Structure 1
Amino acid sequence: MELTLNRIVKDKAYTLGKLLVDGEEFCHTLEPRWRSPEARKVPGRTAIPAGRYPVVITLSPKFKQWLPLLLHVPNFEGIRIHAGNTVKDTKGCILVGENTEKGVLSDSRLWVDRLKQRIVDAKERGEGVWITVDN
């Protein structure tokens, strides 16, 4: 299964994107501020770099639930896809939901559950799961 995160708004406070699953629009995403690859990473306030990363589902000690985890993200550890409504709800992870107003997601838990189910289904079919994050 191929996930694609297309970043569509790079505001000074947040990054808004669209998540596609196998080429079809799935939901919106929200991340911390995007910084160019040459810029200094600010811990907890920087979106992850563009790239293609394997995705697994593991038990998150912080959230105490099973959540998607991106592997091998340069200069970052523990990048998850999880629920949240504003950029204050993430320290670098990708939030999913519906973009209802500027810089805000709604129905985030619902979209996390839907995404987790799609990932589990793909893994049960023996498929790898990857996410490509654009600049």
Structure 2
Amino acid sequence: MKFAHKATSTKKSGIVTGYILEPPDIGNGVGNARNKPDVSCIKADTYQAGLYESPGFHTMVILLQNKYGREWIEIHPGNYPRNTKGCILVGELPGRNTVWKSRDKLAELIEFCGNDEIIVIVKD
């Protein structure tokens, strides 16, 4: 992880922008290192998702569907790479190896999603 990436959430009634941080692709897309649980980014694809009460964070998070041998991939609060083991961190402000105001941005994103269907598109 070096820099946070800009992310956008859209639906007919509006848009939410922020930044995300996730573990790197430790295998550069080659062999079995890519998409490795607990250490690497998830595979670029489209994921169904839903709201979920995380027992680890004691708050509502967004849980991506199990896919490609990965389970329990959350979009959850956190500021630094050490705050995730393969999940996606979300924040209001970017930094080098950091996203800031994570809990505020996650709350905004969850409110924005409401009861609507959630689809997460992960790009390389």
TM-score by length of structure 2 reads 0.83
Distance 1:59 1:94 in 2: 16
* Pair 1:38-2:30 in alignment: yes
* Pair 1:20-2:13 in alignment: no
* Pair 1:56-2:44 in alignment: no
Distance 2:2 2:37 in 1: 14
Distance 2:2 2:24 in 1: 4
- The alignment covers a number of residue pairs equal to 118
| Residue matched to 1:129 | 118
**1:62-77 → structure 2 map (5 Å cutoff):** 62-77=56-71
Residues 130 and 62 of structure 1: is their aligned pair in 2 closer, same or farther, counting only changes over 3 Å?
A: same
Q: Please, which runs of 5 or more residues in structure 2 have no aligned partner?
A: none
SS of structure 1 residue aligned to 2:92:
strand
TM-score by length of structure 1 reads 0.77
Shift of residue 60, structure 1, vs aligned partner? 1.2
User: Greater shift after overlay, 33-42 or 43-52?
Assistant: 33-42
* Pair 1:29-2:40 in alignment: no
Distance 1:36 1:65 in 2: 33
Distance 1:130 1:100 in 2: 23
- Contact 1:37-1:49 at 8 Å conserved across structures: no
Q: Percent identity?
A: 27
State the superposition RMSD in angstroms: 2.0
SS of structure 2 residue aligned to 1:117:
helix
Shift of residue 37, structure 1, vs aligned partner? 3.5
AA aligned opposite 2:7: L
| Residue matched to 2:106 | 112
Deviations 1:50-84 (A, max 9, x none): 00001100111222222110013312110001111
